[in-house]
Chains A and B, each alone.
Chain A
Amino acid sequence: MKKYISIATVFLTIGMAGCKKDYLSQEVNPNFPSVTTPQYTLAGAEASSATILPLDYPEYGEWGGIWCFSGSYTPVSQFQEFAVSITVAPSPNDAWNDLYSNLTNYNNLQVSSASVPADANFEAIAMIMKAFDFEQLVDNYNNVPYTQAFQPSTILFPAYDSGQFIYNDLVKQLDAAIALISKSGATATNPGTSDVIYGGNMANWQIFANTLKLRLAIRQSNLSTNAAQADLASTASIGYIGVSTEADCQPGYTDALGKQNPFYSVYGFDQNGNPAGGYETQRSNIVASNLMKSLNDPRDSAYYKTVSGAINALQLGNPQNASNAISSPLGPGLLKSSSQPEPIFSSYESLFLQAEAAARGWIPGSAAAFYNAAITASFNAVNAQGSVATYLAQAGVAYPVAGTLDQQVKAIITQKYISLNSLFNLEAYNEFRRTGYPVLPQNPASQDPAAVSQTLPLRIPYPLSELNTNTVNLNAQGNINIFTDKIFWAK
């Protein structure tokens, strides 16, 4: 008997031989790190921010009369018919995902830096960029999750906050970030090269925050109560983005696969010099092209490449649109090089904002001067081949100093629309929805006979992913009608 027990014991012992105490501890992932640093997170998040604006809003370009589907390819007919719905989503729906993903990283950075005084600068940049991203979300979708966002262990179904509430809170966040930089910016760790927008220049970040506040204020110009406008004075001394403080992202774009400037890689050419898909499918639109033509604007040939010496633009939804061989693609002013910096917030937009604020009497200064400076900055940004002075002297262009506020706003937004071409299609569309300007020589709506509307959508539907993952809160927003439901600031 004993013999048998010992045989059994020997076998079971052999069986157990591998069992060291920590044999089962395999919790450390050898393939992906579970930790990061503020520097890595900041660099990654800023570079990601620089891909959203240029890549996520092609339909706003098409709807806004800036871009047009190529005549050589079958268009996504629903987009040119405005037949978008929660199940037929336009590309800007990618922005929902991209912005919240981007925000997750800024939020992580803000949370982790908040407990480390030396990381105050990272915290401040995170707060400012969060405001930048949330403003885009509101401008696309109006009400979105805000206060209940980013709490995955407790809130799987975040409720939506109103766009107005979020706008008001963003102003407070921007003020707090400006104050934090003033208080701790000099003593805390400088982000240095990991800040791929301003290289760690914290004063510039204060200027960025202040300009963003100005944008929030201008955007609410139609409203009777405007908390952002009321708050402008408190940080007025900081000033606004100008040509020397352009918010350009430049992590080190280079002519290699995946490392090119994001706009260039999608709407320009690949590392072998071959045209990218976006270059083939997005052509010039007759609406913006004719507007520039009517103003003798030399920027048209910077935005759109000439074919046989002329810009041959297409019309949205026109079944007879010309093929690629004879239609104009995007031009040399936009596609300079694969290593060009990616603008996040341009000086010309800032100057137009200041022009309008001055015209409205919200900030001191000459609206006409801001206006002229803005157009000049825009000419320079796209290497326009022509004299700014000649251009500005034209009757249709010169700032209507003696005009009514509405005439002044009309002039500002018309010029702003031309300046924002292609690189800031979202902002052009936002301003069109806010002011109804520019008044275009051609109806920007679709020529597609199957178009479901002759007016442009006022917003895009929520993404289908929200219906699947956050149903109750989405349904609380009611049935969205894209032709009647406005963003809260819209005209």
Chain B
Amino acid sequence: MKKKLLLIIGLSLAVLFPAFAQNHTVTGTVTAKDDGLPVPGVSVKIKGTNTGVQTGDNGKYTISVPANSVLVFSYIGFTTQSITVGSNPVLNVVLENVSQQLGEVVVTTALGVKHSEKELGYSTAEVTAKQVTATAATNVANGLTGKVAGLAVYELDNSVDPNIAIVLRGNRSLEGNNNALIVLDGVPMPGALLSSINPNDIADISILKGAGAAAIYGSEASNGVVAITTKRGSATNKPTITYENSVQAEKVAFYPKLQTSFGTYGGEGNYINGVTGFTEYVPYENQEYGPAYNGQLVQLGPPLDSANGRKDIVPYKAYPVSPIDAFFKTGITEQNDISYSQGDAKNSIFVSAQNAYRTTVVPNDKNIRNAFSVRGHHTDGIFSVDYSVEYSKTTISTYIGNNNPLNTQYGITLPGSYVTTAGANDLYSSILQLPAFYNIKAFEDPNSDLGNASNYPDAYAINPYWIVDEARRDIQRDVLLGQIKLAVDPTKWLNVSYHLSDNFGIDQERYTKAEVDFTPYSISDPFGAGSNPAVFKSGKSPGSVYDVYQYGDGTNNNPGFARIQGDALVDLHPNLLKNFKTDLLVGNSIYQLYDKYQITGSSQLLVNDFYNINTIGGQPVAQEADYVVRNISFFGDLNINYKGFLNLEGTYRNEQDSRLSKAERSFNYPSAKISFVPTDIISSLKNSDVLTYAKFYASLSQVGNINIGPYEIYNTYGITAGFPYGSLGGLTAGTTNFSPTLKPEITTETEVGTELAFFKNRFDFNFSYYNSYDRNQTVPISTTIATGYSTSILNIGETQSQGYEFQVTGQVFTTAASKVGWTLGGNLSINNSKVISLLPGVSQLSLGGLDYAVVGQPFPLLKGTDFIRDPAGQAVVGATGYPQTASALTTFGRTTPKYDLGVTSTWSYKFVSLSAVFEYRGGDVVYNAIGNSLAFTGASYYSASNGRQRFIYPNSVIQTGPNTYVPNTSLSVQDGNYGFWQTSQFQSTNSPWVTSGAFWKLREVNLTFNLDKFIKQTKYMKGLSVALTGRNLFIWTPKENTYTDPEFSDTLPTSSARGFSDINELPGTRVFGGSVKVTF
């Protein structure tokens, strides 16, 4: 598009000069290095003259030149090249892209309007298609991480269908959604749907960071915008076919450090040796506080099937392969992508198809996406039409984990079956609690005599292979994103358009759990363990089936909205005054969101392996809801540019939203922005060799934000638990007190910044500072139930989010000067958030879990229990030598990173280029519930760090009198084994499990071989490249974090709370592979 625009400008300016008689003729084709495609409109000038031509549509040029003259090839977006003409009449030139040429970049702003970067009074960043797809991430969001200052992509878990949150400039809303708005070709779409988009369809992504950028997008954009523009057919008139294949492997890379010294014992009184007083090996335990491994043969679990059955005898020593390494396999992702594009000045078409097949480290899990898209453009006189249709079908199969949406989104707990939602029986937890002497592979077949539910030796966990084989969640998502834009350009100064879009999806999910039939021997619980089978005295745990059918955005969010939107736009850009360029945009936008879901299910299936709601005992579970949101807005955007170096923009928007009551429904918000480019006006700067470009900007904007769902203004009643009993109905008041007087949240943001380029764009520097205040926070505040409600939704309080963003890019070596090119970039954001006020008289608000908002502090803030400490901060131990839990809560720190640093580096040598992205995040803390779980089971390395012997609790003191403490040098813990690690207050206190959330990650590595020049003779092939790729290859965390990837959090993407990792996630993984790209 960029090339095309400039071509038109170029043509209109082209001046043809008469040729000199003694000249000879040079011809050639100019192609772009990145895609090998011809570049039309390149200026080809004879150095030192004004004589020149432009390349045509096919990139070809013909020029008549004097001998030994130098030709200068220049084009915006490419490095200018000067080449001496030799005797060869053919001179083909490959132009290299300039990654960051400040001021010339065209940015897609609100409503798909393109602006020169120079004109913008706010901070934006452009991410190219190449950057996004560098390492063949299947989700676009993963391709963005570490690349833009202020943009944080959180991969909250590592499942086959991961939750991802995209946050710009940290949190503003205390409890509302802080995620950036995702806009696809000018139309907002649900962030969760990014997983349905084919990353190879993306042309570029504009990140509009603050409220200022978003003032015109409306209330949904108060957290910034990620505006995605998809690929269109190029105007080269030549059909182009691109095929790309990538294959990647995924392997477990980061999991808790486990002990391999001690076997099983869990506090059983009858397993204490009467003579020695030492604990004895307990054959069915999941807790590992038993005797040290000694290599002797022991019996694992009870005899198989009956008291006289075969005994499973194993050596009592750590198995050479850890259960985690043995259980998780290598995941494979293969993507095949083919696209076709063709176009000319008036028409274009782009068609693509993709198949992305992914298996993960979890056996049986897979995610298959087939995506198709068609996009076209047609111009006829003053009329033009743009259309696009994207359809994707995603089929996912995964095990049922604790965090299944049936539970987290719809509040339905899969009840009364062999796998419950109780933490101990989730997959990762079932693996983590396996003692080191288990060979997990022995249980790989859950129907074998060793692996079946009756014989599984661990009395309190479930065979993880049973979970991945027999508790399944199968998902089918059909998503359609369609839009059509009709435009009329009747005259130079007027453009009118209407843009209609319809995005919807159907999400169908089926949850099935197999029936389990226990042997009489297993339910008799021979060891008296109170084991899992002992719960099923009837011998049977019936199967379950639950079906979720949702019409909405195609995700499993409740609600996840389908969206129909119409935008009418009138763009007036008359040239009223000399030196002034004015542009007035007025428009109207209407959208409707709709979601409906139905769930039916039962956990009392009658027939084994027959999953149908028609064949059940008892009553089926049924649930349904539908939601509608409607919104109408009017807006205007006036842009005045003076001589190209000074730009003023003002916006105004009125919005009316159905979620608020009639009296509060309509709200307005304005913004004003200014930008100044001194290098375009100050004569001493104009031709400076040092400072190539400078821009300063400032903006002040206000945006409304509605942080309640539909119908959340009036109180409701729900069916009382257990009802109906026959025809008797019972209703109970809801626990939330809604309010019809709620107003929208208002974010006011001030932003200033500068963009500088030095040494002919070899070195770029961007800086921005923002300070935003968010008033009228719509907060579901926890109220004492004595008010009648546990939650009241109120407009209260104010927060501040303030920060600095730096982005630098430098071409350390340029290919022109040396054969080796090296571009080094860095981006850093520092975010300070602060709660300014809450409700009068309230200084603290619970945000759920251990997250709080505290006046004067950053948020979300992790608070929890700590030990009783002396004034110097040392733990005070009691008579038992154990530290004791203090009753007041301690503040540990913020749960979102304060610092986010990305470092990008690209080396190139001839046809080889190597790029890498590093990312650091820090300044935050994480509560590792996983650490607590592992201390419970005694599986953690930490729990064996004192050899299970008595020890003096480190850095502890003893209280000898009021306010008198002496260092503890003699009082050892009463029991250095089970007593300390499991039953003392050490384990139940939060502080031992809080660690820094800091990490360095090698996010991306890409080694590309561009083989274009080797296939030049091939008639049908235009380009060929091969790449090796890797993602998240390495992670470095502080020593104290031996648990998991601190980026993970057991919170929903839409939640403001973070910093809570637990056994519901999977271990961290690394991904590596390769790709081949062929252009025809």
Contact = CB atoms under 8 A, between A and B. Distances in A.
Interface stretch (A252-260, A378-386, A405-413): A252-260
Interface stretch (A84-92, A391-399, A435-443): A84-92
B658 A24 contact: yes
A365 to B, nearest CB: 38
A468 to B, nearest CB: 5
B714 A108 contact: no
Contact of B783 (A72, A108, A156): A156
Contacts of A96: 785
A309 interface: no
Interface stretch (B68-76, B141-149, B442-450, B532-540): B532-540
A127 to B, nearest CB: 16
Interface stretch (A44-52, A208-216, A343-351, A420-428): A44-52
Contacts of A16: 568, 588, 590
Contact of B535 (A41, A145, A274, A468): A274
B787 A150 contact: yes
Contacts of B734: 32
A116 interface: no
Contacts of A77: 983
Given A26-B659, A27-B711, A43 B733 contact: no
A19 interface: yes
Nearest to B569: A11
Interface in A157-171: 157-158
A12 B887 CA distance: 63
B618 A144 contact: no
A11 B570 contact: yes
B267 A29 contact: no
Interface in B509-565: 525-530, 534-538, 540-542
Given A15-B588, A271-B618, A88 B566 contact: no
A157 B784 CA distance: 7
Contacts of A30: 625-626, 711
Interface in B759-786: 781-786
A325 B528 contact: yes
Interface string A265-294: 000011111110100110000000000000
Nearest to B459: A72
Interface string B482-502: 000000101100101110000
Interface in B924-951: 936
Nearest to B886: A87
Contact of B788 (A86, A149, A472): A149
A11 B568 contact: yes
B594 to A, nearest CB: 11
Interface string A70-102: 111110011000010111100000001100110
Contacts of B269: 71, 318-322
B268 to A, nearest CB: 7
B787 A151 contact: yes
B784 A465 contact: yes
Contacts of A151: 787-788
B716 A33 contact: yes
A150 B632 contact: no
Contacts of B566: 14-15, 18
B656 A105 contact: no
B270 A33 contact: no
B416 A270 contact: yes
Interface residues of A, number: 107
Interface string B711-740: 101111111111101101111111101011
Interface in B777-803: 781-790, 792
A471 interface: yes
A414 interface: no
A29 B720 contact: no
A7 B735 contact: no
Contact of B728 (A32, A97, A148, A196): A196
Interface string A215-256: 000000000000000000000000000000000000111101
Given A7-B496, A78-B988, A322-B270, A257 B528 contact: no
A145 B714 CA distance: 25
B982 interface: yes
Most chain A C-beta atoms within 10 Å of own C-beta, residue among B287, B567, B732: B732
A165 to B, nearest CB: 15
B865 interface: yes
A193 interface: yes
A3 B730 CA distance: 64
B729 A450 contact: no
A275 B524 CA distance: 13
B728 A33 contact: no
A182 interface: no
A34 to B, nearest CB: 5
B564 to A, nearest CB: 9
Interface in A16-61: 16, 18-19, 23-37, 39-41, 43-45, 47-48, 51
Contacts of B807: none
Nearest to A10: B496
A100 B788 contact: yes
A296 B718 CA distance: 49
B985 A251 contact: no
B725 A105 contact: no
B731 A40 contact: yes
B820 interface: no
A213 B267 CA distance: 47
A98 B951 CA distance: 44
A194 B725 CA distance: 11
Contacts of A31: 624-627, 711, 716
17 contacts: A11-B496, A26-B659, A32-B718, A36-B731, A40-B730, A47-B720, A100-B788, A103-B788, A152-B787, A152-B792, A156-B839, A251-B725, A272-B416, A275-B535, A280-B534, A319-B269, A325-B528
Given A281-B530, A322-B269, A323-B268, 13 more contacts: A12-B570, A15-B566, A44-B720, A48-B721, A97-B785, A103-B788, A156-B783, A252-B728, A253-B725, A272-B542, A273-B537, A324-B529, A465-B782
Q: Closest 3 A-B residue pairs measured CB to CB?
A: A325-B528, A15-B568, A72-B530
Interface of B: 266-270, 272, 287, 415-416, 488, 490-491, 494, 496-498, 525-530, 534-538, 540-542, 566-570, 587-590, 592, 603-604, 618-619, 624-632, 656-659, 661-662, 665, 710-711, 713-723, 725-726, 728-735, 737, 739-740, 781-790, 792, 839, 841-844, 846, 865, 880, 882, 885, 887, 889, 936, 974, 979, 982-985, 988
